[in-house]
Amino acid sequence: MASVSGTLGPTAEDSGDVSESDVTKLHAREGAGVEELAGQGFTYRHNWGLRNNQWKLTLNWAGVITANTRVFVAISEGHVGAARYTVHNVVPEDGRVTIWLNIEWGSPIQLFADYLIVNP
């Protein structure tokens, strides 16, 4: 079983559990980058249609997304299939968020992007 040792958190393995004491230890470490979720947050799913290869896609949302908004994105075809979906960058700006992604598949297939949007 391959494992990767991280400097900011617990060791990542093929599978494993995180205990409440692990979370407490992370909160106690100075500079660990662990923050409580604060602000107003919500999720949104966007259907980007049939796509493959690399894309930079911009979701325009004036009044909701700013340069200070934290945006987390997961992409998929809506189920676990054989294609590999990868998010390379997520860049929030005033009025929009741009994602750069890659879909490793020979022909266009469905692309859903799930956005977690948290405003301070």
Q: Where in the chain is the domain with CATH 2.60.40?
A: 40-119
- Contact between 115 and 46 (Cβ < 8 Å): yes
When pLDDT is cut at 50, 70 and 90, the band that residue 4 belongs to is very low
- Contact between 42 and 64 (Cβ < 8 Å): no
DSSP state of 107: S
Architecture of the domain spanning 40-119: Sandwich (2.60)
State which of 1-10, 29-38, 74-83 shows the largest mean pLDDT.
74-83
Of the listed ranges 7-11, 61-65, 116-120, the one predicted with least confidence: 7-11
How many Cβ atoms from other residues are within 10 Å of residue 66's Cβ? 16
- Contact between 53 and 95 (Cβ < 8 Å): no
Q: Please tell me the distance from the alpha carbon of residue 120 to that of residue 38, in angstroms, as a whole number.
A: 7
Tens of pLDDT, residue by residue over 26-40, are 556 655 566 666 778
